[in-house]
Amino acid sequence: MFAGFDHKTLQISGAEDGTRFDSGAHRWMCPKCGSPLGATFPYLPDQIYVPVGVLNDAADLQPSLHCHAGQALHWATPDDGLPHSDGTGRDVLNKASQ
């Protein structure tokens, strides 16, 4: 599970040695174990995606949209009243960041 943030509000440090580019995506990995720490995608400008499991304060975050809801496991489908997108939510996210 990933959380998307405005790239201006979030910086990744200490992962420079684990940076890689593929298919236009910029990915940061832990230089010691290779675990994913974040990624940016050219079709989602100004946004950065972080695996929720690496965040110390993930429980304090308030999501605004659930993306890829059509691919979610039946036991991992939040019923919190927030909008769901079956795809990337690209249009909604890009509109919100403008």
- Of residues 35 and 64, the one with the C-beta less far from Zn ion: 35
Q: What is the pattern of x (binds Zn ion, CB under 5 A) and - over residues 26-45?
A: ----x-xx-x----------
> Hey, is 18 helix, strand or coil?
helix
Q: How far is the CB of 37 from Zn ion (least distance, A)?
A: 8
Enumerate residues 61-80 that contact Zn ion by CB under 5 A: none
Token duo for residue 13? 């440090």
- Of residues 18 and 89, the one with the C-beta less far from Zn ion: 18
- What single string gives the DSSP state of each residue in 50-95? EEGGG-TTGGG-----B-SGGGS-GGG---SS--B-SS--HHHHHH
Residues at the interface with Zn ion (CB under 5 A): 30, 32-33, 35
